[in-house]
């Protein structure tokens, strides 16, 4: 058998003993269906096949072929490897059978070896093989060598057909996956993956088209900018997955509120935009208010608790007589939304060209990068204004005043940039910078001027700066500066706004040894009752009472009262805005402890300690 198989191998096949052994095993495993209506002849062919090592042989007549093939299918695969088809009966029936096999995806890989009775039939049979799925033709009587060669060739052919089919299937799957991937990319190019809404890119395209339609149809439109007020709280306290759930729920709520011709998009984490065409200003504001109320009533449920979610909504109109691009319209709606937030959140705000809050926002947008640049590139500077002790005339204190270097290298006063820094969240960095500079300067002066005190103005947002106390504590420990030489100033308005918390913060800094001054004292016309329990060392009388002191009896009476109250409470007084000698003499007469103003000394870049 071994030599017999070596001779039967195709010309290009491996003829090694191992290859022949492999073929023997394949022949043993090959499942052959013998189709022959002549039983004796069928038995002779089966015997020949057995002699070649083929034992998985089934037999049937022509009418039973198709059911036998169907029964051999398991999990979409036909277990029949080869058909031996007797062509001595009905050529046309077998022709039809072969054609049917070739057109069926389950069976088109199965090789068919046709057996003809006479060599004269071979031409007719060859025509059939060309038109059908048949692969080989054998003439009776069948010789073992010839049959073996055809069997081996058929096995190789079946393998090639199956490999070709699998490659074709892989290519089809790859092409299908490529089409799906391409469709997915096309979808994601215009949609938000989380909510299924349009994304910012697609929205801007639609805004450009909407602006053109508004001008053509001369019908106004509106853009609503919706910013969730409490999203960050839920996202941080629960989880990002919970935050995603909330965003998807909000998107569904907004979808239900929108008309069929509205365009809804999610353009950032918790910001949505609604484009309303053919909409008047009244309709847009009414629609925005309806959305606000719906969101205000919405409660997001988690396992632990229920969250209420509100939204601030900015409205910008798209008018037929105004040429405006998508970016400008979106910026206007965003500015209106920001104004709604600054006015208290959970409300609707309409953009107008005359809107003061919008102008303020534009001003902030101008100043914010300049302040950031100043912090990053050493463009903040300190100037020092002397504070004179009335008894003795010594300059025992200086107030450190921050300045910012402008485009033309001019020094800008704090009124120009500190309010913007407070609104934009940059004032904490300025506070920390000033404290660091002042403590470093005191460290340099502690030997030459050990009694010199420097006053540091703290911003109105100081309660939110949790880095201030650790910074002061560490700098005092590292530098060895006497903490009594550090005097922090806070305005009376800021102190009264949140008295308990401000009192605690002041006490913590005083526990380190620092002193405190209450700036602009008297400007707010507040009750002085809080002073009994507010731990400050100095009261700086507001300059509005000092400027016209010499000619205003009312100011004189008020200043006398303030000085007397401070004395009774054990606090020292400082008079600001002392501009002339006459005012200075009156203050001395009233018993003020310290004076400050242009008559005493202007702010200067260098210190001249007494």
Compute the distance between CA of residue 231 and CA of residue 237 in angstroms, rounded to an integer: 10
* Residue 471, token pair as written in the block: 């910074």
Q: Kindly tell me if the per-residue pLDDT of 1 is higher than 50.
A: no
Domain residue spans of the chain: 2-170, 200-352, 365-595
In the 8-state DSSP scheme, what is residue 531? G
pLDDT, tens digit (0-9, with 9 covering 90-100), for 365-417: 788 899 999 999 999 999 999 999 999 899 999 999 999 998 888 999 998 89
Structure tokens at 319: 């008018």
Q: Which residues contact 428 (CB under 8 A, 6 or more apart)?
A: 459, 461, 464, 465, 467, 468
Report the C-alpha gap between 69 and 78 in whole angstroms.
Answer: 7
Query: How many other β-carbons are positioned within 10 Å of the β-carbon of residue 238?
Result: 18
Angle 427-431-436 from CA coordinates, rounded to 5°: 145
pLDDT at residue 354 in the model: 78
C-alpha distances in Å from residue 203, one per residue of 190, 228, 267, 330, 545: 8, 19, 8, 10, 57
Residue 224 in tokens: 């609503």
Calpha distance 561→274 (Å, rounded): 59
Could you check whether the bond before residue 141 is cis, i.e. omega within 30 degrees of 0?
yes
DSSP classification of residue 356: H
| Maximum separation of any 2 CA atoms in the chain, in Å | 145
Tokens of 3: 């030599």
Taking the C-alpha atoms of residue 367 and residue 363, their distance in angstroms, rounded to an integer, is 6
Residue recorded with tokens 């069929």? 260
Q: DSSP label at 26?
A: H
Could you tell me whether strands 515-521 and 538-541 are parallel, antiparallel, or unpaired per DSSP bridges? parallel
- As beta bridge partners, residue 397 has 387, 453
How, if at all, do strands 594-595 and 572-575 pair?
parallel
Both tokens assigned to 186: 């096309």
Tell the CATH topology of 200-352: Alpha-Beta Plaits (3.30.70)
SS3 string, 171-224, reads HHHHHHHHHHHHHHHHHHCCECCCCCCECHHHHHHHHHHHHHHHHHHCCCEEEE
Minimum mean pLDDT range among 57-66, 277-286, 395-404: 57-66
Q: Give the best-scoring range by mean pLDDT among 76-85, 297-306, 377-386, 495-504.
A: 377-386
Q: How far apart are CA 349 and CA 297, in angstroms?
A: 19
Q: What is the pLDDT of residues 108-162, one digit of tens each?
A: 888 888 887 665 555 666 666 665 566 777 787 878 778 888 888 888 888 888 7
Select the more confidently predicted residue: 225 or 135.
225
**What pLDDT, on the 0 to 100 scale, is given for residue 293?**
94
Rounded to whole angstroms, the Cα distance separating 353 from 554 reads 43
Contact in structure between 539 and 574 (CB atoms under 8 Å): yes
What is the signed CA dihedral for 244, 249, 251, 257, rounded to 10 degrees?
-170
Contact 113, 82 (CB under 8 A): yes
Q: Is the pLDDT of residue 79 over 70?
A: yes
User: What is the gyration radius of the CA atoms in the chain, in angstroms?
Assistant: 47
pLDDT digit string, tens, across residues 344-362: 889 999 998 877 766 777 7
**Alpha-carbon gap, residue 387 to 454, rounded angstroms:** 10
How far is the CA of 125 from the CAs of 41, 86, 135, 136, in angstroms? Answer: 19, 11, 11, 10
**Distance (Å, whole) CA 513 – CA 585:** 33
pTM of the model: 0.54
pLDDT score recorded for residue 325: 85
What does each C-alpha distance from 159 to 49, 72, 74, 108, 175 come to in angstroms?
20, 18, 19, 12, 24
Average pLDDT across the chain, whole number: 85
Alpha carbons 440 and 604: distance in angstroms, whole number: 18
The answer on pLDDT for 9 being more than 50 is no
Residues comprising the chain, all counted = 610
pLDDT digits (tens, 9 = 90+) for 160-204: 887 888 888 888 888 878 777 777 777 777 888 889 899 988 898
Give the C-alpha separation, 454 to 402, whole Å: 13
CATH topology for the 365-595 domain: TIM Barrel (3.20.20)
Query: pLDDT grade, residue 13 (50/70/90)?
Result: very low
CB atoms < 10 A from the CB of 515, how many? 21
Q: Which residues pair with residue 51 across a beta bridge? A: none
CATH for the 2-170 domain, from 3.40.50.12140, 3.40.50.2300, 3.30.2320.80, 1.10.357.10: 3.40.50.2300
Side-chain-facing half-sphere of 519: CA atoms under 13 Å: 15
């Amino acid at each position: 058998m071994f030599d017999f198989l070596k001779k039967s191998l195709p010309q290009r096949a491996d003829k090694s003993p191992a290859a022949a052994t492999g073929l023997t095993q394949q022949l043993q495993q090959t499942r052959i269906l013998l189709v022959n209506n002549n039983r004796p002849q069928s038995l002779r062919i089966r015997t020949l096949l057995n002699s070649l090592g083929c034992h998985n042989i089934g037999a049937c007549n022509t009418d039973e072929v198709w059911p036998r093939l169907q029964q051999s299918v398991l999990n979409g695969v036909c277990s029949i490897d080869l058909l031996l088809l007797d062509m001595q009966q009905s050529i046309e029936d077998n022709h039809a059978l072969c054609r049917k096999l070739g057109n069926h995806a389950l069976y088109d890989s199965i090789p068919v070896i046709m057996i003809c009775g006479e060599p004269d039939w071979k031409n007719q049979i060859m025509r059939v093989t060309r038109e059908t799925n048949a692969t080989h033709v054998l003439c009776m009587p069948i010789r073992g060598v010839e049959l073996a060669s055809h069997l081996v060739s058929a096995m190789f052919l079946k393998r090639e057909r199956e490999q070709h089919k699998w490659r074709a299937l892989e290519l089809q799957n790859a092409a299908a996956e490529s089409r799906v991937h391409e469709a997915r990319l096309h979808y994601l190019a215009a949609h938000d993956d989380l909510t299924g809404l349009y994304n910012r890119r697609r929205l801007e395209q639609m805004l450009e088209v909407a602006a053109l339609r508004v001008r053509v149809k001369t019908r106004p439109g509106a853009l609503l900018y919706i910013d969730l007020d409490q999203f960050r709280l839920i996202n941080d306290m629960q989880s990002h997955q919970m935050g995603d759930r909330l965003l998807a729920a909000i998107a569904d709520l907004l979808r239900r509120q929108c008309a069929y011709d509205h365009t809804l998009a999610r353009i950032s984490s918790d910001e949505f935009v609604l484009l309303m065409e053919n909409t008047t200003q009244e309709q847009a504001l009414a629609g925005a208010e309806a959305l606000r109320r719906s969101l205000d009533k919405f409660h997001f449920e988690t396992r632990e608790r229920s969250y209420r979610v509100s939204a601030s909504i900015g409205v910008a109109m798209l008018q037929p007589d105004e040429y405006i691009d998508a970016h400008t319209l979106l910026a206007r709606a965003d500015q209106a939304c920001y104004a709604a937030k600054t006015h208290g959140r959970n409300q609707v705000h309409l953009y107008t060209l005359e809107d003061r809050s919008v102008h303020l926002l534009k001003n902030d947008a101008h100043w914010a990068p300049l302040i950031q640049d100043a912090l990053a590139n050493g463009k903040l500077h300190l100037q020092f204004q002397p504070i004179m002790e009335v008894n003795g005339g010594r300059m025992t204190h200086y107030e450190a005043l921050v300045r910012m270097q402008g485009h033309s290298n001019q020094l800008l006063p704090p009124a120009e940039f500190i309010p913007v820094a407070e609104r934009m969240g940059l004032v904490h960095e300025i506070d920390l910078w000033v404290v660091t500079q002042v403590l470093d300067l005191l460290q340099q002066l502690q030997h030459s001027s050990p009694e010199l005190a420097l006053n540091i103005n703290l911003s109105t947002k100081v309660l939110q700066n949790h880095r201030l106390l650790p910074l002061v504590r560490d700098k005092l420990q590292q530098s060895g500066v006497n903490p009594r030489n550090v005097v922090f100033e806070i305005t009376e308005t800021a102190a009264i706004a949140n008295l308990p918390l401000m009192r605690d913060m002041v006490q913590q800094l005083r526990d380190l040894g620092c002193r405190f001054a209450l700036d602009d004292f008297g400007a707010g016309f507040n009750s002085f009752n809080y002073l009994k329990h507010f731990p400050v060392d100095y009261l700086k009388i507001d300059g509005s009472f000092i400027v016209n002191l010499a000619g205003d009896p009312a100011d004189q009476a008020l200043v006398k009262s303030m000085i007397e109250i401070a004395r009774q409470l054990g606090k020292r007084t400082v008079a600001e805005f002392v501009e002339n000698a006459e005012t200075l003499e009156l203050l001395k007469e009233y018993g003020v402890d310290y004076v400050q103003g242009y008559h005493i000394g202007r702010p200067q870049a260098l210190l001249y300690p007494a």
